[in-house]
C-alpha cells in the first residue's frame, strides 16, 4: 500500500515538475507586460508558500500514520483520552493567521497595482480602446484614431492601454493572458482594464466567460508593435479601409463568427458605450449627443425585441 502512495505522489510531482519546467513556459507564467508580471509573481509566490503548507501537512500525516498504526503497537495499548491543548490550538491558528496576513498584504497591494495605470508607464498618455463583444466577436474601437477593427487588436508597445469593456449580449470576459488578467464586459455598464505590452510581439486573446454556442472560438489576435509602426498602421487604415456605417455595424452584430475586418470611424458615434459617469462635466456636449443617439438605439432595440416576441 505504501508503494502505491509513493507512486501516486511521484506521478503528481513528476507531472507538475515536467510541465512547469517544460520546454514551453505556461502562458500566464510568461508575462509580456507589467500587469501580467505582477500577477505571475503573486502566483509563483503563493505556489511556493502553499507547497510548503502541503508538505508540512503531508509530513505530519505520514509520520503519525507510520508511528501510530495498530500493527506497530502492542495489543493491550489503549490510546489515551486527550481533550486538546490551548497552546497547540493557538499555534495551529497563529501560523495560518500570519500566513493569511502576509498574503492579504500582497493581495491588496497587487489589487491596487492591477487596477491602475501599469507600473512604469504612468507618464505615458494611455491609448484608449473600446473593446466590445457581440456573439461571438470582438469589436475594437479607437476613438482618438477614429478607426475600428473586428477580431484583431493592434497596440503600441511601451505605452499604457486603457480598455473600456462592454458587451452587446451575454457577459463576456476580455482576456489577454500574457498582458494581464481578464475583466468582464457587460451590456449595461463599462468596465476598465489597464494593460501594457513591454515589447512588440504576437499574442493571443479571448473571451474567457461562457457566452453560448460560439464561445469556444470567440478569440482574437493581438499584435504589439512599435509606436511608429502603430501610427503608420493607423494612417494606412485611414487610406484604405471603408467607413463603418450603422447598417454595416448591425450586420456585424448578427450572431456568428467573422474573420478580421477594418473600418474607419467607430460605432461609438451611433451606438455609444453604456457609460454612466454622470458625475463628470468635461464631456457634457458629447453627452447630449450620446443620449439622443442612445434613444434611437433603444427604439431600434425594442423593434428587435418585438421581432423576437413574434417568433
Partner 1 sequence: MDFFDRFAVPHPSFLIYASMVGIGLTMLAIVLGITYFKKWGYLWREWITTVDHKRIGIMYLLVALLMLFRGGVDAVMMRYQLSMPDNTFLDSQHYNEVFTTHGIVMILFMAMPFITFFFNYLIPLQIGARDVAFPRLNALSFWLFFMGMGLFNISFIVGGSPDAGWTSYFPLANNEFSPSVGTNYYMIAIQIAGLGTMISGINFITTILKMRAPGMKLMKMPMFTWSAFIANVIVVFAFPVLTVLLAMGTMDRLFGTNFFTTDNGGMDMLWANLFWVWGHPEVYILILPAFGLYSEIIATFARRNLYGYKSMVASMVVISVFSFLVWTHHFFTMGQGAFTNSIFSITTMAIAIPTGVKIFNWLFTLWKGKIVFTTPMLYSMLFIPLFTLGGVTGVMLAMSAADYQYHNTMFLVAHFHNVIIPGVVYAMIAGLTFYWPKMFGFMLNERIGKWTAWLMSVGFVLAFIPMYITGLDGQARRMYTYSESTGFSMLNMVSFIGAGIMAISFALLVYNIYYSIRYASRDIGNDPWDARSLEWATHTPVPEYNFAITPQVASTQAFWDAKKNGHELFKGKIEKIHMPNNSGWPFILGCIFFVFGFAMVFSIWPLAIVTLIGILGCLVYRSFEKDHGRYISVEEIEETEAKLRGAKK
Interacting residues with partner 1 between 234 and 273 (CB under 8 A): none
Q: How large is the greatest C-alpha to C-alpha distance in the chain, in angstroms?
A: 93
Q: Report in angstroms how near the CB of residue 76 gets to partner 1 at its nearest.
A: 10
Residues 216-235 within binding reach of partner 1 (CB under 8 A): 216
Separation CA 165–CA 131 (nearest Å):
5
Task: Tell whether residue 300 is a contact of partner 1 (CB under 8 A).
Answer: no
C-alpha cell at 96: 495560518
Residues 43-102 within binding reach of partner 1 (CB under 8 A): 43, 46-47, 50, 53-54, 57-58, 60-61, 64-65, 68-70, 73, 77-84, 88-89, 92-93, 96-97, 100
The one among 202, 213, 236, 289 contacting partner 1 by CB under 8 A: 213
Instruction: Give the angle 271-277-283 at the CA atoms, nearest 5°.
Output: 75
Residues 130-189 within binding reach of partner 1 (CB under 8 A): 135, 165, 169-171, 173, 175, 177, 180-184, 186-189
Number of residues near partner 1 (by CB under 8 A): 98
- Alpha-carbon torsion angle 200, 202, 208, 210, nearest 10: 140
Helix axes 86-114, 34-67, angle to 10 degrees: 160
Q: Report in angstroms how near the CB of residue 6 gets to partner 1 at its nearest.
A: 12
Residues 20-49 within binding reach of partner 1 (CB under 8 A): 20, 24, 26-29, 36, 38-40, 42-43, 46-47
Complex with partner 1: residue 162 or 229, whichever CB lies closer: 162
Complex with partner 1: residue 108 or 288, whichever CB lies closer: 108
Q: Report in angstroms how near the CB of residue 137 gets to partner 1 at its nearest.
A: 15
The CA-atom distances, in angstroms, between 61 and each of 16, 55, 66, 198 are 22, 10, 9, 46
Phi/psi at 130 (5° precision): -90, 115
C-alpha cell at 287: 453627452
Q: Report in angstroms how near the CB of residue 203 gets to partner 1 at its nearest.
A: 10
Instruction: Give the angle 190-136-156 at the CA atoms, nearest 5°.
Output: 60
Amino acid at each position: 500500500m505504501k508503494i502505491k502512495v509513493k507512486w501516486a505522489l511521484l506521478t503528481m510531482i513528476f507531472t507538475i515538475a515536467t510541465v512547469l519546467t517544460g520546454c514551453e513556459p505556461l502562458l500566464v507564467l510568461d508575462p509580456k507586460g507589467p500587469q501580467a508580471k505582477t500577477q505571475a509573481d503573486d502566483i509563483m509566490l503563493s505556489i511556493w508558500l502553499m507547497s510548503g503548507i502541503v508538505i508540512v501537512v503531508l509530513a505530519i500525516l505520514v509520520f503519525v500514520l507510520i508511528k501510530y498504526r495498530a500493527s506497530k503497537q502492542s495489543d493491550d495499548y489503549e490510546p489515551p483520552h486527550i481533550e486538546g491543548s490551548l497552546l497547540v490550538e493557538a499555534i495551529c491558528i497563529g501560523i495560518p493567521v500570519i500566513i493569511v496576513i502576509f498574503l492579504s498584504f500582497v493581495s491588496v497591494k497587487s489589487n491596487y497595482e492591477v487596477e491602475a495605470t501599469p507600473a512604469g508607464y504612468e507618464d505615458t498618455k494611455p491609448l484608449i480602446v473600446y473593446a466590445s463583444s457581440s456573439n461571438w466577436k470582438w469589436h475594437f474601437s479607437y476613438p482618438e484614431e477614429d478607426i475600428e477593427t473586428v477580431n484583431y487588436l493592434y497596440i503600441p508597445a511601451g505605452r499604457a492601454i486603457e480598455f473600456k469593456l462592454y458587451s452587446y449580449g451575454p457577459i463576456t470576459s476580455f482576456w489577454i493572458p500574457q498582458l494581464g488578467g481578464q475583466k468582464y464586459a457587460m451590456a449595461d455598464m463599462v468596465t476598465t482594464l489597464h494593460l501594457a505590452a513591454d515589447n512588440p510581439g504576437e499574442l493571443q486573446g479571448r473571451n474567457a466567460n461562457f457566452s453560448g454556442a460560439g464561445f469556444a472560438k470567440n478569440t482574437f489576435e493581438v499584435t504589439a508593435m512599435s509606436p511608429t509602426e502603430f501610427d503608420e498602421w493607423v494612417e494606412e487604415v485611414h487610406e484604405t479601409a471603408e467607413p463603418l456605417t450603422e447598417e454595416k455595424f448591425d450586420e456585424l452584430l448578427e450572431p456568428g463568427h467573422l474573420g478580421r475586418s477594418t473600418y474607419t470611424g467607430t460605432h461609438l458615434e451611433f451606438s455609444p458605450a453604456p457609460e454612466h459617469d454622470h458625475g463628470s462635466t468635461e464631456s457634457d456636449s458629447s453627452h447630449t449627443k450620446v443620449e439622443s443617439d442612445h434613444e434611437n438605439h433603444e427604439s431600434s432595440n425594442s423593434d428587435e425585441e418585438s421581432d423576437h416576441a413574434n417568433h
